[in-house]
Amino acid sequence: MRKFALSLALTVLYSLAPAFAADSAENIRASANLSFNNILNQLTADYAKGLETPAQSAAPELVQAAQDGRYWVTAYAADSHARTRLLEAGLDIVEIQKDRVSGLIRKDALPSISGKGLVIESMPLEEYAGRHFKDFPAADAAYHNYKETTDLLNALATKNSDIASLTSIGKTIEGRDIWCLRVNSTAKGAAASPKPGALYIGNHHAREHLSNEVPLLFAVWLMDNRSAPEVRKYIDTLDIYIIPMLNPDGAEYDIRTGSYKWQRKNMRVNSDKTIGVDLNRNYDSWFGGQGTSHYPSADTYCGPSAFSEPESMAIKKFVEARKNLKTLMSYHSYASSILYPYGGSDADVPDAQDKKVFVKMAGEMGRLTGYTPEKSSDMYIATGDTCDWAYTTGKIFAFTTELEGDSFYPGASIIDKTVKSNVKAAAYMLSVTDNPYKIVQ
């Protein structure tokens, strides 16, 4: 079962290990609020505080919040093609097991799969949420919301103004800025750079809050360790971009009442008045094909046309304007896997050398995180995703990391371990960004 994939102990010494310990006392004093270790310690302290809250007291709040007409369904699906068909029927696949999947579907779409005898178990989302909640916003205050994310990025850029700059790459449908921290020792803002580029994106999907923490804390780690020789080399020779929160509208909606909404999509008001387009089905890579829904109410709704959404359009413009980008990582949760193209087709990428690079990079990042490396479509076929588009458009070695956990809301205790192992994988990506082909030569 994918979600229970063994997290292998990281026994191999990693070349950047000293950088993790590079937090000198002086450093911590100078930037009490910005140090990587201090922030992780604070997250742990907040979690401990959260544990003092009796779980029962907040559960009804969560249960009430999830009453939105969706059902949690477990259905038979023996292979990637069967899973793809379920996606197209409107099932938002959340968990994959050997012969079955579980996920969310709207009540009106449920008969399309129950009528085929595929449903093993179904229950209203509020019932499922009541049984399986891990945490609730009060105890998850350690996670960074939009304002906290913005403030932290601002503070990083201000404190490291010689090498970092913060820009908005566009506005969301509700008018929020989509922030990008750039790390480059010679170029600021939107100025062009000849250096090879790496791009990290988080939070395409609103409820995947951990996928904001990882790139955000990676930015903190980079700045915290900027004097360590390996990191210094990356900062001097590469053009590094970090966009931790691509879908702040959805992320804010998910938490704004103090209880989770299980929101996946952005906050577009669709033609039928339902809310949201699935941003990771909205890119122009086999747009609207397999593994996506054309029903606006579905959680995997691809939108009326490719790049119909300002958030995905912002990424399109950003990437197209930066021909120096060589690598890309898009963070999601939760499956504990490192995925490489294609996602929208069963086919392998046609260039044999490129395939070797994808497999090798995914394998190494899998080793560093304990996640399973695999071709994205081996899970299910999903058209219109970021990575297929980025590879096809810009020959960028683009990966999806499905972070760990057994829920979209795994609590704050998971942040520390997840961030630390994924920072190693993110740093590995930097180590090959100068020339990804060097690892297969």
Catalytic site residues?
402
**CA atoms within 13 Å, Cβ hemisphere of 90:** 18
Considering the complex, state which of residue 39 and residue 206 has its C-beta at the smaller distance from Zn ion: 206
DSSP 352: H
Considering the complex, state which of residue 357 and residue 381 has its C-beta at the smaller distance from Zn ion: 381
Considering the complex, state which of residue 165 and residue 247 has its C-beta at the smaller distance from Zn ion: 247
Which candidate, 310, 297, 291, 248, places its Cα nearest to that of 384?
Answer: 291
Which candidate, 88, 112, 92, places its Cα nearest to that of 102?
Answer: 92
Considering the complex, state which of residue 157 and residue 210 has its C-beta at the smaller distance from Zn ion: 210
Supply the minimum distance, in Å, between the C-beta of residue 217 and Zn ion: 18
Supply the minimum distance, in Å, between the C-beta of residue 416 and Zn ion: 21
**Among all residues, whose Cβ is closest to Zn ion?**
332
Q: How far apart, in whole angstroms, are the C-alpha atoms of residue 277 and residue 266?
A: 6
Considering the complex, state which of residue 208 and residue 416 has its C-beta at the smaller distance from Zn ion: 208
Q: In what order do the strands lie in the sheet with 119-124?
A: 92-96, 100-106, 70-76, 119-124
Q: Report the amino acid identity of residue 265.
A: K
Supply the minimum distance, in Å, between the C-beta of residue 306 and Zn ion: 18
Report in angstroms the alpha-carbon separations of 64 from 3, 60, 72, 136, 267. Answer: 27, 6, 15, 12, 21
Strand, coil or helix: what is 129? Answer: helix
Supply the minimum distance, in Å, between the C-beta of residue 387 and Zn ion: 12
Considering the complex, state which of residue 144 and residue 205 has its C-beta at the smaller distance from Zn ion: 205
Supply the minimum distance, in Å, between the C-beta of residue 198 and Zn ion: 20
Query: Residues 376, 382: contact at Cβ < 8 Å?
Result: yes
Question: Which are the contacts of 285, defined by CB distance < 8 A and separation ≥ 6?
Answer: 344, 383, 384, 385, 388, 389, 392
Backbone angles phi, psi at 327, to 5 degrees: -135, 155
Supply the minimum distance, in Å, between the C-beta of residue 69 and Zn ion: 21
Considering the complex, state which of residue 209 and residue 375 has its C-beta at the smaller distance from Zn ion: 209
Residue 130 tokens, joined: 């009541």
Strand, coil or helix: what is 176? Answer: coil
Beta bridge partners of 375: 340
Considering the complex, state which of residue 205 and residue 316 has its C-beta at the smaller distance from Zn ion: 205
Supply the minimum distance, in Å, between the C-beta of residue 325 and Zn ion: 21
Beta bridge partners of 293: 301
SS (H, E, C) 39-89: HHHHHHHHHHHHHCCCHHHHHHHHHHHCCCCEEEEEEECCCHHHHHHHHHC
Strand, coil or helix: what is 375? Answer: strand
Supply the minimum distance, in Å, between the C-beta of residue 280 and Zn ion: 6
Supply the minimum distance, in Å, between the C-beta of residue 159 and Zn ion: 31
Considering the complex, state which of residue 265 and residue 316 has its C-beta at the smaller distance from Zn ion: 265
Helices vs. strands in the chain: H and E counts, helices first: 15, 12
Report in angstroms the alpha-carbon separations of 229 from 72, 144, 148, 183, 194. Answer: 49, 29, 30, 16, 22
Query: Residues 246, 206: contact at Cβ < 8 Å?
Result: no
Which candidate, 151, 135, 334, 149, places its Cα nearest to that of 252?
Answer: 149
Give the interface with Zn ion as residue ranges (CB under 5 A).
205, 208, 332
Residue 395 tokens, joined: 């020959």
Strand, coil or helix: what is 303? Answer: coil
